[in-house]
């Protein structure tokens, strides 16, 4: 055996033998236990970097080890080849995204092969190939027919230079991560997948993740972010207008302690009833701030104003003022909540600011320990049709239509009369 290792000589020889013998070709073999080893598919940006080498070396070590254990290992490779960076690069180089991507794949494939990874190249996939995204479209239509894919208006981060929508993570200091242009908020019709349909299942099944770190499971739990309670019906004084106010379960037994109601600046009440110029200017200021912030609420300075409106509820039999605020909670579906200064420091600040009367003394009750009383009262309110049961989640439906040209075509035709026509399977 030679003392020195000559990679160009040895690796070239061995890799030719692998290719001739189809050493890493995978066929179905039901006599062996199966093992699936998938590393994240590379984006064909042009050339490999050391991050690629590290990532695919780790995956290759695992695949080889499992083969040595006698398992039938599927270790696939392919190209995550759709995306805006390819489209922008192709535009700058005056070439089609398809040719740009195809050329990059040829170059990166040579590099991957030189590294000697044990991929079955006969199973190579490319996500911009119609033979591949045919099945993405097929899957989309299945979801659409089940009501799990739908289109709606959404407030998005818009880059006017790239002419595209950005995820929150792609907005840095209110600027586009790619071109540094100031990002605006814009209402755009978007396709969504209804992942909120599975919120409860996702939450419950965290218990089944044995061996997962507690910290990671808590992060997932907070990401799903379940809040249980009731919608209590209030009416604006001297009008027939009724609106729901969400009361979290832990506060239900203290409905009589409500001093005021907080509503978001974009609540329908603001558009319908606010005439005062100062209050209108406050709402405009909130809307302007909304167009520049990046939904990172931890850094928001919470501001408020008295709407001069009052609300009444037949259960509490109290007239309470309505306060307009720029922020309530990171759960975007909640637009009205109660103000209880006895148990909330921020509510106490608002109460003192507007000189609202409230009793400073209360029984020594831990609101978190009265679930039985809360359940009883909640049941009675719902039974008497004064309230309705309500669950909110921090989890939001997944916007999937951020691409411009270079992405999987959504298999839907929208006619001029707004009628939606799904593709037939033969046309995918």
Check for a shared fold between 7-128 and 225-393. no
SS (H, E, C) the chain: CCCCCCHHHHHHHHHHHHHHHCCCCCCCCCCCCEEECCCCCCCCCCCCCHHHHHHHHHHHHHHHHHHHCCCEEECCCEECCCCHHHHHHHHHCCCCHHHHHHHHHHHHHHHHHHCCCCCCHHHCEECCCHHHHHHHHHHHHHHHHCCCEEEEEEEEEEECCCCEEECHHHEECCEECCCCCECEEEEEEEEEECHHHHHHHHHHHHHHCCCCCHHHHHHHHHHHCEEEEEEEEEEECCCCCEEEEEEEHHHHHHHHHCCEEEEECCCHHHHHHCCCHHHHHHHHHHHHHHCCCCCCHHHCCCCEEEEEEEEECCCCCCEEEEEEECCCCCCCCCCEEEECCCCCHHHHHHHHHCCCCCCCCCCCCCHHHCHHHHHHHHHHHHHCCCEEEEEEECCCCEECCCCCCCCCCCCEEECCCCCEEECCHHHC
Taking only the tens of pLDDT, the chain with its 428 residues reads: 678 888 888 898 999 999 999 999 999 999 999 999 999 999 998 889 999 999 999 999 999 999 999 999 999 999 999 988 888 888 888 999 999 999 999 999 999 999 999 999 999 999 999 999 999 999 999 999 999 999 998 888 899 988 888 877 788 888 998 889 999 888 888 899 999 999 999 999 999 999 999 999 999 999 999 999 999 999 999 999 999 999 999 888 888 889 999 999 999 999 999 999 999 999 998 877 765 555 444 456 889 999 999 999 888 888 999 999 999 988 989 999 999 998 888 999 999 999 997 766 554 544 444 566 778 888 888 888 889 999 999 999 998 876 678 899 999 999 999 899 999 999 99
Per CATH, the number for 225-393 is 3.90.740.10
What is the reported pTM?
0.77
The domain spans of the chain are 7-128, 138-194+398-427, 225-393
* Domain at 7-128, CATH class: alpha beta
């Amino acid at each position: 055996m030679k003392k020195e290792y000559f990679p160009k000589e040895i690796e070239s020889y061995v890799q030719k033998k692998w290719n001739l013998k189809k050493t890493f070709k995978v066929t179905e073999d039901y006599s062996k236990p199966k093992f699936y080893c998938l590393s994240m598919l590379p984006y064909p940006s042009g050339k490999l970097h050391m991050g690629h080498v590290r990532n695919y070396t780790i995956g290759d070590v695992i695949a080889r080890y499992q083969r040595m254990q006698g398992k039938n290992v599927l270790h696939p490779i392919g190209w995550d080849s759709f995306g805006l960076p390819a489209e922008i690069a192709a535009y700058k180089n005056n070439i089609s995204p398809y040719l740009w991507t195809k050329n990059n794949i040829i170059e990166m494939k040579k590099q991957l092969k030189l590294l000697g990874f044990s991929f079955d190249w006969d199973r190579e996939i490319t996500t911009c190939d119609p033979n591949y995204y045919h099945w993405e479209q097929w899957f989309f239509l299945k979801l659409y027919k089940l009501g799990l894919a739908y289109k709606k208006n959404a407030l998005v981060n818009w880059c006017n230079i790239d002419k595209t929508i950005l995820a929150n993570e792609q907005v840095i200091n209110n600027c586009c991560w790619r071109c540094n242009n100031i990002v605006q908020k814009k209402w755009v019709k978007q396709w969504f997948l209804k992942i909120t349909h599975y919120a409860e299942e996702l939450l419950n099944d965290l218990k089944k993740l044995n061996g997962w770190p507690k910290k990671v499971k808590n992060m997932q739990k907070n990401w799903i972010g379940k809040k249980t309670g009731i919608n209590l019906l209030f009416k604006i004084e001297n009008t027939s207008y009724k609106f729901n106010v969400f009361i979290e379960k832990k506060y239900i037994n203290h409905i009589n302690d409500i001093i005021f109601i907080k509503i978001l600046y974009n609540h329908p009440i603001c558009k319908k009833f606010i005439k005062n110029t100062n209050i209108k200017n406050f709402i405009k200021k909130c809307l302007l701030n909304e167009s520049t912030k990046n939904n990172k609420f931890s850094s928001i300075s919470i501001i408020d104003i008295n709407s001069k409106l009052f609300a009444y509820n037949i259960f509490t039999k109290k007239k309470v003022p309505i306060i307009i605020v720029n922020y309530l909670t990171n759960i975007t579906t909640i637009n009205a909540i109660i103000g209880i200064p006895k148990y909330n420091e921020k509510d106490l600040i608002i109460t003192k600011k507007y000189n609202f009367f409230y009793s400073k003394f209360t029984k020594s009750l831990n609101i978190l320990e009265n679930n039985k009383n809360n359940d009883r009262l909640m049941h009675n309110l719902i039974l008497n049709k004064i309230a309705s049961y309500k669950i909110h989640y921090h989890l939001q439906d997944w916007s999937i239509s951020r691409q411009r040209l270079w992405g999987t075509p959504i298999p839907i035709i929208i006619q001029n009369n707004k009628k939606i026509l799904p593709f037939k399977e033969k046309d995918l």
